[in-house]
Copies of this chain bind each other. A is one copy, B any other.
Amino acid sequence: MSKTQDPSSPDLDATASALPLFAQIKSSLRQDILDKRLRAGQKLPSEAQMQLSFGVSRITVRQALNELQSEGLIETVNGKGSFVTRPADAPRLGMLAGFKESLRRSGRMASGRMLSVRTGPAPQRVARALDLPPHALVTITRAIFLADGVPTAFVKSYYEPTLGREILSERLATEDAMSVLEDELGFRLDQTKISATAVKCGWIRGFLLEVPADEPLLHMRFIPIDLTGLALMYSDVYFRPDRFSYRAMLRR
Contact = CB atoms under 8 A, between A and B. Distances in A.
Given A216-B200, A216-B216, A216-B217, A195 B250 contact: no
- A-side interface size class: 35 or more
Interface in A184-218: 189-200, 214-218
Contact of A189 (B72, B217, B252): B252
Interface string A14-29: 0000000000000000
B194 A248 contact: yes
A178 B208 CA distance: 39
Given A197-B241, A198-B241, A250 B218 contact: no
A216 B190 CA distance: 32
Interface of A: 59, 70, 72, 90-96, 189-200, 214-220, 239, 241, 244-252
Given A92-B252, A214-B214, 15 more contacts: A189-B252, A193-B249, A195-B248, A196-B220, A196-B245, A196-B246, A197-B239, A197-B246, A198-B198, A198-B199, A198-B219, A198-B241, A199-B241, A216-B216, A218-B218
The 8 tightest CB contacts between A and B, nearest first, are: A216-B216, A94-B250, A197-B245, A198-B198, A198-B216, A198-B218, A197-B241, A196-B246
